[in-house]
Amino acid sequence: MSSINSIAIIGSGTMGSGIAQVCAQAGYHVFLYDINDSALNKAKVGIEKNLDTAVEKGKMTQNEKLESIKNILFTSKFEDLKADLCLEAILEKLEVKQDLMQRLAAQNSKDCILASNTSSIPITQIARGIPHPERVVGIHFFNPAHLMKLVEIIAGVETSDTVMDTAESLVLQLKKTPVKVKDAPGFIVNRVARHYYVEALKLLEEDVATLENIDALMESMGFRMGPFKLMDLIGIDTNFSVTSSLYEQFFYDPKFRPSRIQKQKVDAGHWGKKSGKGFYAS
């Protein structure tokens, strides 16, 4: 498990495509999978746009851009996903992730590392029932993955030290900053940052201030993005799902209570930038 040459990324949304880009730039052979061909096309356009921006800023050459794109196979064929490491960036639902891990385990060797980009679900739960659970690990990137440096590496109860070390080495090869974390709901960042969103939504529910003013005030305090702008970027549906997951895993502690306003946005399909409308119109 010490050598990684090929990486399969399952899910071509904002996170999956960003992770695929980072891995391709580092020289890894990448399979980017999605069941939806239009999602794959959108991911390819987004990756090329990010790389073009990097070229324009002098952070990479045109040849490096072309090599990075060549390193990615965009595929909707699940049987293509045979790699040294498979990383899922799909729906934040435990049963969906477990089913995917079982399918990946069935067509890969026992030495294939199975990784999750989950924001909130304990790795121990995801690894339950998976053959050789010692190779299941959390590798949690932050949005936007091609820019954010921090990556949490999470050990489940059965995750081996070798797999943790291999994951750490991979993250360093990607020129990111790895932080090893013990398994717990939300890990470190999402557990702490959850209240950046939850409390902002409570202020909005209580009509203390407008969302524009809340964002402006937080940005004036040094945050690069206000909570509502950030939820639009991440995806309001994704953010709501993570909050709901933590609320359940902390046995319905009121401090993690999801917002009715956010739930209404999700129900209306106002998911932020990816749907063209969220707390702001985009």
pLDDT in tens, 90-124: 988 999 999 999 999 999 999 999 999 999 999 99
Condensed to tens digits (0 to 9), the pLDDT of residues 203-228 reads 999 999 999 999 999 999 999 999 99
Determine the 3-state secondary structure of 98 from DSSP. helix
Q: Residue 61 is encoded by which pair of tokens?
A: 């050459």
**Among candidates 36, 2, 18, 213, which has minimal Cα distance to 113?**
2
Provide the whole-model pTM: 0.91
For residue 216, give the amino acid letter. Answer: A
**Among candidates 219, 206, 198, which has minimal Cα distance to 262?**
198
Catalytic position from the list 17, 50, 116, 140: 140
Q: How far is residue 121's CA from residue 131's CA, in Å, rounded to a whole number?
A: 19
96 CB-near residues (< 8 Å, 6+ apart): 90
Q: Length of the chain in residues, anyone?
A: 282
**H/E element holding 23?**
helix 14-25
**Which domains are present in the chain?**
6-182 (3.40.50.720), 190-268 (1.10.1040.50)
Q: Residue 60 is encoded by which pair of tokens?
A: 């990479």
Determine the Cα angle at 256 with ends 207 and 119, to 5°.
Answer: 120
Question: Is 152 among the residues known to form the active site?
Answer: yes
Condensed to tens digits (0 to 9), the pLDDT of residues 223-267 reads 999 999 999 998 999 999 999 999 999 999 999 999 999 999 999
Catalytic position from the list 88, 92, 134, 152: 152
Catalytic position from the list 119, 120, 241, 245: 119
Catalytic position from the list 6, 117, 190, 244: 190
- Contact of 271 with 50, CB cutoff 8 Å: no
- Contact of 272 with 282, CB cutoff 8 Å: yes
Question: Is 140 among the residues known to form the active site?
Answer: yes
Question: Is 190 among the residues known to form the active site?
Answer: yes
Give φ, ψ of 12 to 5 degrees: -105, 25
> Is 2 a residue whose pLDDT tops 80?
no
Question: Is 219 among the residues known to form the active site?
Answer: no
Condensed to tens digits (0 to 9), the pLDDT of residues 23-72 reads 999 999 999 999 999 999 999 999 999 999 999 999 999 999 999 999 99
**Among candidates 167, 144, 150, which has minimal Cα distance to 54?**
144
SS3 readout for 183-252: CCCCCCHHHHHHHHHHHHHHHHHCCCCCHHHHHHHHHHCCCCCCHHHHHHHHCHHHHHHHHHHHHHHCCC
- Please report where in the chains the tokens 């477990």 appear, as a residue: 98
DSSP letter for each residue of 141-158: E-SSTTT--EEEEEE-TT
> In angstroms, what CA-CA distances link 238 with 56, 75, 247, 269?
31, 24, 14, 12
> Is 1 a residue whose pLDDT tops 50?
no
Average pLDDT for 174-200: 95
Determine the 3-state secondary structure of 138 from DSSP. strand
What pairing do the DSSP bridges indicate for beta strands 6-10 and 113-116?
A: unpaired
